[in-house]
Structure 1
Amino acid sequence: MINFASRAYDRRWRIDPIVRSLLDTDFYKLLMLQLIHRHFAAVPVTFSLINRTWTVRLADMVERRELEAQLDHVRTLQLGRQERIWLAGNTFYGTEGIFRPDFLAWLSALRLPEYEIEVVDGQYELTFSGPWAEVMLWEVYAITIVNTLRNRAGLARMSELELDVLYSRAKAKLWGKLDRLADAGITGIADFSTRRRADFLYQEWALLAAADHLGDGFLGTSNVALAMKLGLEAIGTNAHELPMVLSTLAETEAELRASQYRVLELWQQTYDGRLKVFLPDTFGTTQFLSGAPDWVADWTGLRVDSKDPFEAGEEAIDWWASRGRDPRSKLVLFSDGLDVGDILALDKAFRGRCRLGFGWGTLFGNDFRGCHPRGADDLAPISLVCKVTRANGRPAIKLSDNLAKPTGPAAEVARYRAIFGGAGLGHRDVVV
C-alpha cells in the first residue's frame, strides 16, 4: 500500500500531475459526450468555475503558475490505445459496444482547447469556451485540479509525522463508515467522488477499501480510469448539462418547457436498459414529473440530486404509482452530499418500497474533517462546481430544487421560474 504521508511530503517533482488520463473523469461525461458529438457537436458553450464556498479564497491559497501548469498538462493528454480498446470492447451496464467506432475515433484525436483565467476578489475566474463536444470534458478536470491544489496547499504546511497521523485518522474514519454500512446490510453503494476527491491516490485507496469491506454491496465507481485499472463497474448516466444547453436552443416557451423531455428522447435513441435513469431537477422535479410523457415512467429509474431526498423519494414513488407502474421495480438513486448517516436513514425509509442506489461523493473520497493533528480545518471539503454558463449565445440556467443552488443571471433565473413554476422548491444548506 502507498505511504500517503511520504508521498504528500515529497515535493521533488517538477510537476506531479493531478489528471494523468482523459479517462480520469466521470463515466456520464463520456456517455453525454457521445450524444453531444452526434447531435450538437458545434453548439458554442462556455463552462465557468464557481466556488460556492466563497469564504475560501482559492486564489490566495493556490499559486497561479501551479494551476496553469496542471491545466496545460491536461491539454497534452490524448486517449491511449489500450484505453480505446477497453472502451470499445468492455461491457457497460450489461451492454457491449456502447461507444460507437466513429465516436471513439474522434475521441482518440481530441485535444482539449485553451482556457481563460483571471483573479477576482480572491477567486479564480476560470472559463472554457468553444464547441460543446470539444469543451465539455474540461468540467471534471477543472474541479479536480483546483480542489486538489487547494488540498496540497494545506498538506504542505504539515510535517511528515503530522501527515502520517492525518492519513491514518482519515482512513480509519472511512473504514468506520464502511463498518456501519456493512453491519446494516446496505447495498447499491457507488463512488461519485472524482471531482472533489482528496487526490487520485486516496480515491483509489477508498475504492479498494469499499470493495473489500462491502463486497457485492459496492457497485463500482464513476471514475472511468479507476474502473479500468481496478476492474470495477463504471457507474453514471447523465447530468444537468444536457437540459441546460438544450433549453438555450428553444425559441418559444413551449419549446423551452419541452426541452427537458427532448433530452430523454435523444437519450433513449442512444442508450437503453439500465442506462435509462433520468435526472428531473434541472428546472424543478415536481413540474418535470407532472408534465412528463407517459413513456418516461417506463424508464429504469431516476436520480435524486438537489431536493430533500426523503421528499424526493416519496414523490417518485407516488408518481410511479399514479402512472400505473410498480415502484418496487424502479430505481431511486440518491446522490447529493450524502454521508453514511444519510445513507442509513434513506435505506431505512425506502428499503422494499423501491430499488435503492447511493452515489457517495465528496464525503467518501475527501472527508478529512476532524483528522488534522493540530485541529485545523483547512482540509474541510468545499462546494466547488464548473457549470455551463452560456450556450448558443444565451445564458445557460439551472433552477434546481434547492433555492440556494440556481445558476445564471438573476433576470434569466426569474424568467425560467415564471415558465417552469416553483412547485416543490425549497431551501437546503449546501454542504458540498
Structure 2
Amino acid sequence: MVDIARRVWNHKWKIDPIVRSLIDTDFYKLLMCQSVFRNRPDAKVTFSLINRSADVPLARLIDEGELREQLDHIRSLSLSRGESTWLRGNTFYGKRQMFRADFMEWFEDLRLPPYHLERRGDQYELTFEGLWPEVMLWEIPALAVLMELRSRAVLNDMGKFELQVLYARAMTKLWQKVERLRDRPDLRIADFGTRRRHSFLWQDWCVQAMLEGLGQTFVGTSNCLIAMRREVEAIGTNAHELPMVYSALAEGDTALAQAPYQVLADWHEEHDGNLRIILPDTYGTQGFLDRAPDWLASWTGIRIDSGDPATGAEIAIQWWKDRGEDPTRKLVIFSDGLDVEKILELHQQFAGRVRISFGWGTLMTNDFRGLVSGDRLSPFSLVCKAVSANGRATVKLSDNPNKAMGPPDQIDRYRDVFGVGQQEAQALVV
C-alpha cells in the first residue's frame, strides 16, 4: 500500500503530476463523450471554472506556474495500449464493447485542446473552448488538479510526522464511516468522488477501504483508472452537461422545451438496462416529469442530484405510480452532498419502496474537516461547467436555486419555458 504521507512530503522536492492518465476521469464522461461524438460532434462549446466558495482564494494558494505545468502535462497525455484494451474489451453494465470502434479510434488519437488561464484577483479564470467531444474531457482533470494543488498548498508546511498523524486520523475517520455502513447488507454504495477529491492517491485508498470494509455493498467507482487497476465496476450514466448544451443549441422556445427529452431520446438509442437513468433536475424535476413522454416511464430509474433528496424521490415515486409503473422495481440513485447520516436516513425512508443506490462523493474522498487548524482542508464547491454552445449561453436552473447558472435574462426565459415556480434554496455542502 502506498505511503501517502511520504508521497505528500516528497511533493516538496520534485514535480509530481496529479493526472497521469486520460482515463483518470469519471465513467459518465466517456459515455457522454461517445454520445456527443455520434450526435453533436461539430458543436463548439466553452467550459469554465466556477468557484462557488469565494472564501477559498485559489489564486493566492496555488502558484500559477505550477498550475500551468500540471495542465500542460495533461495535454501531453494519450491513451496507453492497456487503457485502450480495457475500454475496448471490458464488460460495462453487462455489455461487451460499450465503446464503438470509431469512437475508440478517435479517442486513441486525442490530445486535449489548449486552455486559457488568467488570474482575476484571488481566483483563477480557467476556460476551455473547442469542439464539444474534445473540450468536455477537460472538466474532470481540471477539477482534480485544482483540488489537489489546494491540498498540497495547505500541507506544504507540515513535517513528516505531522503528515503521518494527519493521514492516520483521516483514515480512521473514513473507517469509522465504513463501520457504520457495513452492517446494512442491503445498501448499494458507489464512489462518486473523483471531481473534488483530496488527491488521486487518497481516492484510491478510499476505494480500497470500501472494498475491504463493505464487500458487496460497495458496487464500484466512477473513476475509470481506479476501476481498471482495482478490478471493480466502473459506474456512471449521464450529467447535466447534455441537456444544458442541447438546450443552448435549440432554435426557439418550442425546441428549447423539447431539448432535454431529445437528449434522452439519443441516449435511448445507444443504451439499455441500468444505463437508462433519468437526470431530471436541470430545469426542475417536477416540470420535467410532468411533461415527459410516456416512454421515459419505462426507464430503469432516476438520479436525484439537487434540492431536497427525499422530496425528489417522492416526486419520482408518484410519477411512476401515475403512469402504471411499479416503483419497487425502479432504481433511485441519490448523489448530492451525501455523508453517512444522510445515507442511512434516506435508506431507512425508502427501503422497500424503491430500489436504492448511493453515489458517495466529496465527503468520502475529501473529508478532512476538523483535521487541520482553521479547517483549511475542508472541501469546497468547485465546478467546471459548459457555459456556452455555438456562442449561446447555457443555463442550469436545478432544484436548488443556489446551483442555478446563466445570464439573468436567460434564466428568466428558461424558467418561463419550463414552468419553474417557487424553489426552496438548499445550502451548498460541496
Give TM class, smaller chain.
Answer: over 0.9
AA at the equivalent of 1:381: P
Q: Which residue of 2 aligns with 1:429?
A: 427
Whole-Å separation in 2 of the counterparts to 1:58 and 1:234: 31
| Residue equivalent to 2:412 | 414
How far off its partner does 1:223 sit? Answer: 0.1
Moved more, 131-140 or 183-192: 183-192
Residues 415 and 421 of structure 2 are in contact (CA less than 8 Å); yes or no, is this contact kept in structure 1? no
Q: 1:331, 1:401 → 2: CA distance?
A: 20
Residue type matched to 1:235 in 2? I
Task: Give the match's secondary structure for 1:413.
Answer: helix
Aligned-pair identity (%): 54
The aligned residue for residue 266 of structure 1 is: 266
The one-letter amino acid paired with 1:63 is D
Look up the SS of the partner of 2:182 in the other structure.
Answer: helix
In structure 1, the residue matched to 2:252 is 252
Q: For the residues of structure 1 that align with 2:184 and 2:165, how far apart are their CA atoms?
A: 29
**Whole-angstrom CA distance in 1 between matches of 2:55 and 2:41:** 37
Name the structure 2 match of 1:20. 20
Q: CA separation in 1, counterparts of 2:395 and 2:73?
A: 31
Q: Which residue of 2 aligns with 1:323?
A: 323
Shift of 1:185: 3.2
Measured in 2, the distance between the counterparts of 1:423 and 1:229 equals 46
CA distance in 1, matches of 2:89, 2:5: 38
1:179 and 1:213 in contact (8 A); partners too: yes
**Contact 1:191–1:222 at 8 Å: present in 2 too?**
yes
Q: Does 1:165 align with 2:165?
A: yes
Whether the 8 Å contact between 1:284 and 1:424 is mirrored in structure 2 is: no
> Which of 386, 403, 406 pairs up with 1:405?
403
Matched, 1:241 2:241: yes
Q: Point out where structure 1 has 5 or more consecutive residues left out of the alignment.
A: none
Preserved CA contact (<8 Å) 2:187 2:347: no
SS in 2 for 1:194: coil
The verdict on how the C-alpha distance between 1:380 and 1:186 changes in structure 2, with shifts beyond 3 A counting, is farther
Q: 1:31 to 1:49 in 2, by over 3 A?
A: same
How far residue 415 of structure 1 moved from its aligned partner, in angstroms, is 1.2
What amino acid is aligned across from residue 188 of structure 1 in structure 2?
Answer: R
Amino acid at match of 2:318: D
TM (norm. structure 2) is: 0.99
Using the TM superposition, give the Cα deviation of residue 12 of structure 1 relative to its aligned residue in structure 2, in angstroms.
5.6
The total of aligned residue pairs comes to 430
TM-superposed deviation, 1:14: 3.5
Give the corresponding residue for 1:195: 195
Task: Tell me the residue number matched to 2:63.
Answer: 63
Q: Do the aligned residues in 2 keep the contact of 1:186 with 1:347 (CA within 8 Å)?
A: no
SS class of match (1:195)? coil
For 1:177 and 1:287, locate their aligned partners in 2 and report how far apart those are by CA, in whole Å: 36
Amino acid at match of 1:414: D
CA displacement at 1:250 relative to structure 2: 1.1
Q: Secondary structure at the match of 1:397?
A: coil
How much has 1:423 moved relative to structure 2?
3.7
Residue number in structure 1 paired with 2:183 = 183
Task: Kindly state the Cα deviation for residue 424 of structure 1 after the two structures are TM-superposed.
Answer: 6.5
CA distance in 2, matches of 1:184, 1:251: 49
Structure 1 counterpart of 2:61, which letter? M
Q: Which residue of 2 aligns with 1:382?
A: 380
Code of the aligned partner of 2:405: T
For residues 422 and 225 of structure 2, what CA distance do their matches in structure 1 show? 38
Kindly provide the CA deviation profile for residues 239-297 of structure 1, in whole angstroms up to 9, marking residues without a partner as x. 00000000012112111010000000000111111110010001110100000001100
Question: Residues 424 and 217 (structure 1 numbering): CA distance in 2 closer, same or farther, change over 3 Å?
Answer: farther
On the 8 A contact 1:286/1:423 being kept in 2, the answer is no
Structure 1 residue aligned with 2:96:
96
Paired residues of 1:186 and 1:344 also in contact (CA < 8 A): no
C-alpha RMSD of matched pairs (Å): 1.0
Residue pair 1:112, 1:138 contacting (<8 A) in 2 also: yes
Q: For 1:390, what is the secondary structure of its paired residue?
A: strand
Code of the aligned partner of 1:231: E
1:239 partner letter: A
CA deviation profile, 1:53-100 (whole Å, cap 9, x unmatched): 011110000000010000000000001111111111100001111100
Q: How far 1:162 moved relative to its partner?
A: 1.1
Residue 5 (structure 1) shift: 1.6
Aligned residue type for 2:385: K
User: Contact (CA 8 Å) 2:399, 2:423: kept in 1 or not?
Assistant: yes
Residue 268 to residue 424, structure 1, CA distance change in 2 (3 Å): farther
How far off is 1:13 after superposition? 4.9
- Code of the aligned partner of 1:243: P
SS class of match (1:319): helix
SS at match of 1:325: coil
SS in 2 for 1:382: coil
Whole-angstrom CA distance in 1 between matches of 2:244 and 2:423: 18
Task: Please name the residue that 2:212 is paired with.
Answer: 212
C-alpha distance in 2 between matches for 1:424 and 1:215: 43
Cα distance in 2 between the residues matched to 1:379 and 1:80: 33
Q: Secondary structure at the match of 1:206?
A: helix
Secondary structure of the corresponding residue to residue 119 of structure 1:
strand
Show CA shifts across 1:195-246 (max 9, x none): 1111111111100000111111000000000000000000000000000000
- Report the residue type matching 1:411 in the other structure: D
User: SS at 2:385's partner residue?
Assistant: strand
- Structure 1 CA distance for aligned equivalents of residues 289 and 401 of structure 2: 19
Q: Deviations over 1:143-170 (max 9, x none)?
A: 1100100000011021111111110111
**Could you list the runs of 5+ residues in structure 2 that have no partner in the other structure?**
none
Structure 2 SS opposite 1:21: coil
Question: What is residue 46 of structure 2 aligned with on the other side?
Answer: 46
Alignment partners' CA distance in 2, 1:307 and 1:86: 37
Query: Is the CA contact (8 Å cut-off) linking 1:285 and 1:424 kept in structure 2?
Result: no
| CA offset digits 1:38-66 (Å, max 9, x no partner) | 11111000000000001111000000001
TM-score (norm 1): 0.98
